[in-house]
Each structure stands twice: as C-alpha cells, then as structure tokens.
Amino acid sequence: MAVSGPIIVEVHQSTTDVGALYYHTGKIQEDGTVVWAASSFPYDTGLAPSIAISGNKIIEVHQAGTGVGPLYYHLGEINAGGTVTWAASAFSYDTGVSPSVAVAGQTIVEVHQSTTGVGPLYYHAGEIQTGGGVNWAASSFPYDNGLSPAVAVAGSTILEVHQAGTGVGPLYYHAGEIHANRNVIWAGSAFNYDDGMLPAVAASGPTIVEVHQSTTGLGSLYYHTGGLQSDGTVGFAASAFNYDSGEAPRIAVAGPTILEVHQAGSGVGELYYHTAAY
C-alpha cells in the first residue's frame, strides 16, 4: 500500500498461489476515514506485490512465481479522478523473493531476499525516467542477512526492517543514505528494536511507524514508533503497542494520518484497514 496526498493505492494477491494481482484505490477523508472504490481491478500476475508512489507515479514490484526467480516491476500513473493507468507490461529487473520497494522523488530503492530461507538481503537502486521506464543500477548488492525485508525512504535516508530468523524473534532495522548515481551507503550495523515477525515500515519526515505480527498465525498486531536522529540512527519508543488482530500488516503515512491494512486470517479472505493519527 502507498499514499500520495489523499489518494491510496493498495495491491494484493487474489490467491495463495501465482495468480492475478489486484489494485484498489481509495481516498482519505478529513475525518481520517477512507472511501474506497467500489471494486478492485487486476493489473498483473504474480506473487508478493509491493508498491510505492512519488507524486502521481507508481512503481510496483512482485515475484513472477514461487521460490527464488525473476522479480518484475510495473509502472503506473494516478489519474486526476484517482484511477490508475498501468503500463501495458511489467519488466524483469532482478532475481530473488519477497521484494519491497520505496521511492523518494525519482529514486527507487528495492530490497529482497536472495533465498527462501535466512540468508543475504539485497538492495537494488533505480531511477524513474521522465519519459517512462526505470533506469536500474547494473546489479543489486548485499547489505544484511535475514528474512522478510521491508523498506521506507524519508528524504535521502533509507530505513529497512527485517526478521533475523524464521518465526517470531528479533526484528532489526538498518539505516542507509542515498548518494549520487543511485549509490547507497548503509550503516555498518543493523540494530534490534523489537521482537515479532513480518515487519513493515513507513516514514514521514523524521517520524517512523513500524508494524508487525506478534505470533506466527492470527494474533495481535503491534505498532512501534520512532524518530530519525541527526546521526542517521532511529530512536525507537521503549515499547510497542497492540492496535489490532490479524496477519501480514502493511503501513503508510500521509501527513498526520497513519493507514494500515492487514489480512483478517490466513489464506485468501477479508482485508481490513485501520486509520490512526499521530
């Protein structure tokens, strides 16, 4: 899920296996509620979609199939009425599993696993071209080890979160800085900030909001807030707090509004959204 002004674009799988990927648009109201479009629409085929927005430009990434294999990106554009016009085709940009993407201006930062188990995590930087398309760096590079990476960008600062191992356990954040020519300088170490699994993170200015599961199945969802420090580290609050129940949470921040979406249970089923303000 990603937000541009009041417009929300959410993407999801329609099945637990490779199949149609759908997008659903919505608009944040002044009272913090969301008016969603009457239906969602298919835009591609694959698994594990992730989306980011810069202005009216959308970049979406996904796996082409199960296991380690081609990763694809798909561009789109938000129209004046809040609908989306997608490019006719998606294009392969890397190989891996569990991609996550963020964008700041024209600069894209994507992270993914290189294996289906605990192992090297890679980042791949790119730049959205004015005429359309993405100019990706020639290769991706390892920056850490773990599982289930998720990434957010605030200005030139990158914040990535991931599991250290399988199941519920330590969650780590790793900060980096975008330099010229799509070069990323990562901090020398990642830091433990909580325990859980399947973390997701969003940034708005210096404000960080992270969400995660507390169990391996349906159970409590927690949020953890933090602030970017001048040295590039994050000052996380001493504790995380329970805000809902479900699985696979994702989060975005728009101005003072926090928007979170999650599954109500395992497998294909109802999707819920939850709003908050900070």
- pLDDT tens across 104-156, in order? 888 999 999 999 999 999 999 999 988 888 999 999 999 999 999 999 998 88
Q: According to the model, what pLDDT value does residue 112 have?
A: 98
With CA atoms as reference, report the closest residue to 23 among 15, 32, 14: 14
pLDDT at position 81 is 83
Tokens representing 47 are 């698994």
Summarize the confidence of residues 28-43 as an average pLDDT: 92
Residue 182 reports pLDDT greater than 80:
no
How far apart (Å, rounded) are the C-alpha atoms in residues 7 and 32? 12
Q: What global pTM score does this model have?
A: 0.95
**What percent of the chain shows pLDDT beyond 90?**
80
Is there a contact between 154 and 204 (Cβ–Cβ < 8 Å)?
A: yes
The pLDDT value given to residue 37: 95
pLDDT category of residue 48 using cuts at 50, 70 and 90: very high
pLDDT of residue 190: 96
Q: What's the confidence (pLDDT) of residue 233?
A: 85
User: What is the per-residue pLDDT for 256?
Assistant: 83
Can you tell me the distance from the alpha carbon of 207 to that of 225, in angstroms, rounded to the nearest whole number? 8
Confidence bin at 12 (pLDDT 50/70/90): very high
Across 66-90, average pLDDT: 94
70-90 exposure pattern, b = at least 16 Cβ within 10 A, e = fewer: bbbbbbbebeeebebebbeeb
Q: Does residue 226 have a pLDDT over 80? A: yes
